[in-house]
Structure 1
Amino acid sequence: MIINHDDYDVIKAKETRKERVAALLTLLPQRGPQAFEEVVEALRPNNSWLADELESQLNELNDSSSTSAADELNNVMRAGAVPTLPAVHVPRQVYTEAVRAGLRELKEGRFLAVHGMAGIGKSVCVNHALRDAELVFSHFPGGVFWVSVGQADTDVLINKVQALCERVVG
């Protein structure tokens, strides 16, 4: 369900149609990567012209923003202190895709743990998985924040967690 009863009440309470549409469009990104497509499909039976127009506009936006999406992803990675990928690394596609799948399935308040022996490439694998713009923008609209905890000094770790809390809370 994309919109629950509380969401409906908030949207319906808006005075104008423009405010109701704005409330719905603000809500959609918080409902996951398929929310927009589900709304378009819900419109199709009775308002196919609108569904077609929304799809067309989305396709144009996706086509024109592919390079800017890469730039935006790099900005998100920098803002979240995600380290750059090493110049030389061995992509482990199977493990990278497993991490991406785990990230896509995350529910609010849940975590994904990647574990293994030191030096086998866990951090590089996760970092590589995060280089997927569609994954980051659809599942983590607020961005990502990188915190290394394995070898971190306690004070450094506390400062990083504090910075994360300030970013999340605002």
Structure 2
Amino acid sequence: MDTVKRMKIQHLREQIVQDVTIEHIIDYLISKDVVSEDEYELIKQEKTRKDRTRRLLDILPHKSLEAFDHFVKSLEDPYPWISSQLQSNGPQTYQMEERSYFDSLLLGGLPQPPPNNISRQEKMEDVRGCLSSLKRGHYVVLHGMTGTGKSCLAAAALDNKKTNNRTFQQVHWSTDRSKKETAKKRHNTGRPEATDDGDKLRNCSIEEKGYEGAVYWLSVGDVNTDDLLCHMTDLMEKLSHHPGVDLQCNCTNVRAARECLRRYFTTDSLRKGLLILDDVKSSEIMDAFDIGCKILVTTKDSEVMKTVEGRHELIQ
């Protein structure tokens, strides 16, 4: 369930608790696989009507994207006043989207462009256009020499209010294990530290709703097999907590991790997800992350894309 829908339920939580009797809607929710029989048993263990309703509302945000629509449908006959409020797309919904968008940038720490960054509007629109038409299993590749601002361009293309209102929702940082000192400085300052090549952007993942899943930014750089496996397992850990995902994997090698990531990105919640691989330096990375999702790559060596020839669009 995406952030705005979760916020709608949260906003009306007390009214729902006051008005709704679970027994009036539970059969429909079970028939649509919104609530399992086991979950209903847990709900029934609550002693009061209000507590049973609260337990249901605690369960719903972790369900699939369709769960919200089924919940609204279940309320239409017995509680039409609540159903109509949940379906409303008025100013309040816009404010929720605004808050969701700006909170995502604040809480996740998406870095702003450096002071001397030169905006390349035409190139940025090219990237956005390619991303909007990107198919699963295909790639958009930003290619250029070190220091030409590939990472800044990628982040700027993603950090777009008009685009992100229908896409990105939450932002998270993860640590590039090959740059421990940079991670330490970021922890102390609250922002990424500039590297020698001027690249200030590292490891940002953005949860979004237009792709009906998550967008994860991984800064890979020079990695050995152990580092690569760490990147893959870190990504799996994040995906396992995404609403609507019920999948756990324990992988001890890159091949097994790749197969597990493929399964993650075939779930309903993540099927349209986007992965950004920043600073790719070897085709081994591309082979490991050839997992069937949409991927944006930044690299100074176009040869790294040879393993996915015919499935990528190059932007220089």
| TM-score scaled by length of structure 1 | 0.58
Q: CA deviation at 1:10?
A: 2.2
Query: Which of 82, 87, 90 is the equivalent residue of 1:50?
Result: 82
Query: Which of 110, 124, 127 is the equivalent residue of 2:154?
Result: 124
2:73 counterpart SS class: helix
Q: 1:55 to 1:118 in 2, by over 3 A?
A: closer
- Within a 5 Å distance, the mapping from 1:34-113 to structure 2 comes to 34-56=66-88, 59=90, 61-78=92-109, 87-88=119-120, 89-92=123-126, 93-98=128-133
CA distance in 2, matches of 1:45, 1:23: 22
Q: CA deviation at 1:9?
A: 2.1
**Unmatched 5+ stretches in structure 2:** 1-32, 145-149, 170-208, 242-316
Over the aligned positions, Cα root-mean-square deviation in angstroms equals: 4.4
Q: Note if contact 1:76-1:144 (Cα within 8 Å) is conserved in structure 2.
A: no
Residue 147 (structure 1) aligned with residue 218 (structure 2) = yes
CA distance in 2, matches of 1:15, 1:5: 18
Q: CA deviation at 1:42?
A: 1.7
Matched-pair identity in %: 19
Task: Report Cα offsets for 1:60-86 as digits up to 9, x if no partner.
Answer: 6423334322311212442xxx56577
Q: 1:148 to 1:13 in 2, by over 3 A?
A: same
Q: Note if contact 2:44-2:52 (Cα within 8 Å) is conserved in structure 1.
A: yes
Q: CA deviation at 1:39?
A: 0.7
Q: Which residue of 2 aligns with 1:24?
A: 56
Q: How many residues align?
A: 152
Residue 5 (structure 1) aligned with residue 37 (structure 2) = yes
Q: Which amino acid in 2 is paired with 1:65? A: M
Q: Would you tell me which structure has more strand in proportion to its own residues?
A: 2
| TM-score scaled by length of structure 2 | 0.36
Q: Which amino acid in 2 is paired with 1:20? A: R
CA distance in 2, matches of 1:134, 1:50: 24
1:148 counterpart SS class: strand
Q: Is the radius of gyration larger for structure 1 or structure 2? A: 2
Q: 1:74 to 1:114 in 2, by over 3 A?
A: farther
Q: Which amino acid in 2 is paired with 1:72? A: D
Q: Note if contact 2:72-2:87 (Cα within 8 Å) is conserved in structure 1.
A: yes
CA distance in 2, matches of 1:167, 1:38: 26
CA distance in 1, matches of 2:227, 2:49: 49
Q: 1:53 to 1:68 in 2, by over 3 A?
A: closer
Q: Note if contact 1:43-1:50 (Cα within 8 Å) is conserved in structure 2.
A: yes
CA distance in 2, matches of 1:17, 1:60: 32
Q: Note if contact 1:73-1:133 (Cα within 8 Å) is conserved in structure 2.
A: no
Q: 1:69 to 1:52 in 2, by over 3 A?
A: same
Q: 1:16 to 1:34 in 2, by over 3 A?
A: same
Q: 1:2 to 1:165 in 2, by over 3 A?
A: closer
1:10 counterpart SS class: helix
2:54 counterpart SS class: helix
Task: Report Cα offsets for 1:65-121 as digits up to 9, x if no partner.
Answer: 34322311212442xxx565773242244432245x85xxxxxxxxxx654656187
Q: Note if contact 2:34-2:63 (Cα within 8 Å) is conserved in structure 1.
A: yes
Q: 1:70 to 1:116 in 2, by over 3 A?
A: closer
Q: 1:45 to 1:12 in 2, by over 3 A?
A: same
